[in-house]
Each structure stands twice: as C-alpha cells, then as structure tokens.
Amino acid sequence: MKTHDADFIIVGSGPAGVSAAFPLIAAGRRVLMLDAGNDARSRDESRSARVLGSNLESLRADDGSSPKLQTPVARGILERFRRESGITGEGFMPVASLARGGLSNIWGAQISYLDAEDILGWPIDIDLLQRSYERISQRIGISTNADLTAEADRGSVLPLGAAAAHVLHRHKAAKPADGSFRLFPAINAILSEARPGRAACDLRGDCLYGCPSGAIYNSRQDLLALQKPPHFRLLDNVRAISLASNAGWTIGTADGSSFSAPRIILAAGVLGTAALLADLLPIGGEGLRLLNSPTLAIPLLSPARLLRSATATHSLAQLGLSLRYGERASDYVMGAIYEVGSLPTQSFVNRMPLGRKAGRAAFEMIAGSLLVATIYYPGDQSRSYIHREVTGKGMTVRGGFADGFDIRAKDLKRRLRREWQRLGLIPLPGASLAEPGIDAHFAGTLPMGAAGPFGTSVDGELNLHPGLHVVDGSILPELSSKYITMTIMANADRIAHRLAEMEANPAL
C-alpha cells in the first residue's frame, strides 16, 4: 500500500492556506501544500509591464468593474480561474484565483476584526479567535493611517492623505451624537517599517499595480518562511481536481498524479473549494447558498480641497466608516474612503458625464479633491447560489439580492447623503451598485456548526467526511459587512492549532 505523502495536505497558498500551515509546521507535522499557481510573477518585473501589462491589457476598454480588478495582474488571475475552474457566473462575477498567493496578489489589504457580538451563535470562542488575530497581525504587519501633522507619532502608522485628513477633522468636529455613523483611520496590512525581505511602504501610491517592495502583505511572502523547515513542501502548478477517501484521503490532479494524507485541508477560496467538493456535496436544484457582500461605490468631491495637491501616501483605503441601517446588531454597513489622485485616470474619466478629452482635463483639475467611498452590506442582503450544471461537471453562480434590498439601498444612500453633507463632501454622479461577486467577500457555503451534508464542525471538518477539513471563508457561518480576510486567516490558524494538538493527543 502507498504510504501517505504527508500528515496534512493543504490545497491553496492564499491567506487561508499559509495560515493553516504555520501551526502545523511549528508542531512538527509533515505538510504538503499543493497550489495551482506558480512563482511566475517576478519581483523585478518593470513598472510599465505591471501597469500596462506585457500585452498592453490595461489599454483594453474599461469593463465597469473596480479599477483594482482591471490591472494586468488582476485580469490574468481572474481569467485563468474562469478558463480552468469550470465555474461561471450569471449576474455574478466569479472573482477567484488559481495563482500562488491567491487573491492576496490583488487585495486591498484593509483589516477588520470581528467582536463577540459579530460571532454570537458561532460555535467558536471569541478568546481563541482573538489570540489567532494577534498571531496573524504580528506575522503579516499592520499599520494605521494617521494624520501625522496633528497626532503624536505612535507605533505603526502611515501618513493619512490630505483630503482624507480634512474629512476626518470635519467628522471629529461634529460627530453624530447617536454614534450611528463612525469614521476612523483605516487599518491596513501594509508595513510602515521594513522587515526581512519586505521594505516599508515608499508612499509612491501605485499600490494598485502590485507592490514590488513587499510592503503590502501577500501570502506569497509567507512561503519563504514556510519552506525553510524540511517537513514543509510546496508543489506549484498542481491543480487538484478530485478527492477520494481511501484509508485517509487521496487528491487527484489535473496532470494525472495523486497525493494522499490522513487529513486534507481545503484552502482553495470559497469558489475553488466548492468546485473541488462538487462530487461530494448533494447540491440540489435550489443550489448552494453563497453569502457575498452587496457593494456600492460612491464618488465624492471635497470642494475645500479643489486645486490643492495630493500628499504622498499609499493608494489603499485611507479611512474606514460604518453606518447603522436597522435594529439588529448586524444591521450596519462598513466601508472605506480612498483618495483617487493616484488611481488610474481612465476608470474615472469613463464614468464622468463628459466627453473623453473634457473628462480627462476635468479629472486632472479635481483629482486632489476626489474621493471614492466603497460600502459593503452584510451577506444576508445577498441571494447568490452555486448551481451544478445539468450536463458536464461545471458550476454556475447566480447572483442576487435579498427582497427589499433596493428600498434599503435607496434609504441608505439618502442617509449617507446627510453624512456627506456634514463632512463637506458632494456626491458626484456615477455611484454604482457592483455586480455581485465583485466584492470578493464570500462566505457561508459550508457553515461551522450546521447539521447535514453542507455543515462543518468547529474544526472545519465536513460532516459525513472525516478527515476532510475546510479552512477558508466557506465555513464562516455569517458574513458581516466587515473586511473578511483577517477572520479567514485567524480561523484557519485556530483550526490548525486544534488539529496539531489533536494529532499529538488523539483523545481530544
């Protein structure tokens, strides 16, 4: 009989996969990580190739999605997933990856932490999750944006852009008394001080096109540390396509090879994991519910900043915000405010109700005073489902919104208008509700604590399939409007600690 290739096989080298690997490696377990991607993206690629693409992909027409999804790296990642995963979308953009480092190659790096109220009803302990948050924060490096002209220099801070600082001052001067609207400096996984192998943020502001200095966290960076001990192995260009239980689990791959281990850990991203489990899950006609965050983007003008130049800073989120819209604890939206001075002109020009030439001239004049707010709703406002194709092995995600969402969205826009006015901001034409999927905040397909064939245990073990664990967003039972990746990583870390202990003490 073939001996196992490792104690654990992890599928995926994104934020979830590497977070599960560290505790297992620290406990001396043999880990084999399989990833469909490779190390093709070289660190010293020229800036023009990063911005324009090696085939000038960036000069293609704007497809209306977020500027971040239109960069050459993002297009390459999304197109490969569409080509090879067998997952398509109807009214849903399947934003997912078959790339080393997963979606952390193109993420916005904004961080949120769930609190006890957010996980009420989840089968996990907030203290354990918080310990995992701390471990992950230390590993990846977190900075807060601060107005360095006004505040004492403290710890890991990066300068807040001038337009964002202006808005924050106005907010502090007249906060709504009921606390229903909050505005605060964003917390991002960006280094303000260099670490081995990663430079501090150079404030050049071209973050959208990848970060060659490594200041923005990307889970590829973790692979360097993981690969040091001999009991960790990473196999690139290996796309898992099947799972079979046979004295443990055997993974079949697209190139015909197979790998086995007593336990498998799926960290392929919510859509990638669903594709891998297609044959094990009895998905019926109603489809498999997927939680995603309906997302609204609102361009804003700060007249007080007109004709003033922008300050040097990164071009990721400057400010975070939240606004309550209902009575339940989860009835709040979260979001971010970006300065657009360093974002690609084209996306904004295309959205302006002017001709191209006039649009470009207008944009250049007002760039330093332009901001964009991105607002995320909680997952219960989405109605998206993954369906199996009737013929063939493919899957289709059908996107949708909860009943009455349009009325709630209209009401929210009205309430936000009041806040913009208080902050001295003018909402510009061009606000848009993104196609479901563009948010890339996915959860809830295989919730922890749920009974039945789609549920998982507190260790992410799929019901009815002992030894098959999932550690990505699939197992989060709910999707709040907070940024999700930090929680995916912390939960993967928590589960891997449990599994490492369990292997040492099978009585657990």
Ligand X SMILES: Cc1cc2nc3c(=O)[nH]c(=O)nc-3n(C[C@H](O)[C@H](O)[C@H](O)COP(=O)(O)OP(=O)(O)OC[C@H]3O[C@@H](n4cnc5c(N)ncnc54)[C@H](O)[C@@H]3O)c2cc1C
Binding site for ligand X (CB under 6 A): 11-17, 34-37, 68-69, 95-100, 102-104, 106-110, 239-240, 267-269, 272, 276, 440, 472-473, 483-485, 488
Strand order in the sheet with 187-188: 157-159, 143-146, 187-188
Q: How does strand 288-292 pair with strand 395-398?
A: unpaired
Q: Which is nearer to ligand X, 33 or 370 (CB)?
A: 33
- Listed in sequence order, the residues at least 6 apart from 355 whose beta carbon sits closer than 8 Å to its beta carbon are none
Q: Least distance to ligand X from the beta carbon of 270, Å?
A: 7
Q: Which is nearer to ligand X, 68 or 305 (CB)?
A: 68
Q: Least distance to ligand X from the beta carbon of 110, Å?
A: 4
Q: Least distance to ligand X from the beta carbon of 239, Å?
A: 4
Q: Least distance to ligand X from the beta carbon of 185, Å?
A: 15
Q: Least distance to ligand X from the beta carbon of 74, Å?
A: 6
Q: Least distance to ligand X from the beta carbon of 20, Å?
A: 9
Q: Which is nearer to ligand X, 336 or 423 (CB)?
A: 336
Q: Would you say 251 and 263 are in contact if contact means Cβ atoms under 8 Å apart? A: no
Q: Which helix (H) or strand (E) holds 421?
A: helix 405-422
- Residues 267 and 223: their CA atoms lie apart, in Å, by 15
Q: Least distance to ligand X from the beta carbon of 485, Å?
A: 3
- Residues 20 and 101: their CA atoms lie apart, in Å, by 14
Q: Which is nearer to ligand X, 103 or 301 (CB)?
A: 103
- Residues 155 and 223: their CA atoms lie apart, in Å, by 27
Tally: H helices and E strands in the chain: 11, 23
- A 10 A CB-CB count for 63 gives 11
Q: Which is nearer to ligand X, 219 or 311 (CB)?
A: 219
Q: Which is nearer to ligand X, 34 or 301 (CB)?
A: 34
Q: Which is nearer to ligand X, 110 or 342 (CB)?
A: 110
- A 10 A CB-CB count for 79 gives 11
Structure tokens at 501: 């202990």
CA distances 385 to 94, 100, 202, 289, 340, Å, are: 12, 27, 42, 5, 34
Q: Which is nearer to ligand X, 205 or 359 (CB)?
A: 205
Q: Least distance to ligand X from the beta carbon of 111, Å?
A: 7
- Residues 456 and 447: their CA atoms lie apart, in Å, by 6
Helix (H, G, I), strand (E, B) or coil at 333: strand
Q: Least distance to ligand X from the beta carbon of 129, Å?
A: 15
Helix (H, G, I), strand (E, B) or coil at 415: helix
CA distances 440 to 74, 96, 101, 507, Å, are: 12, 8, 15, 39
| Cα R_g (the chain), whole angstroms | 22
Q: Would you say 317 and 393 are in contact if contact means Cβ atoms under 8 Å apart? A: no
Q: Which is nearer to ligand X, 124 or 190 (CB)?
A: 190
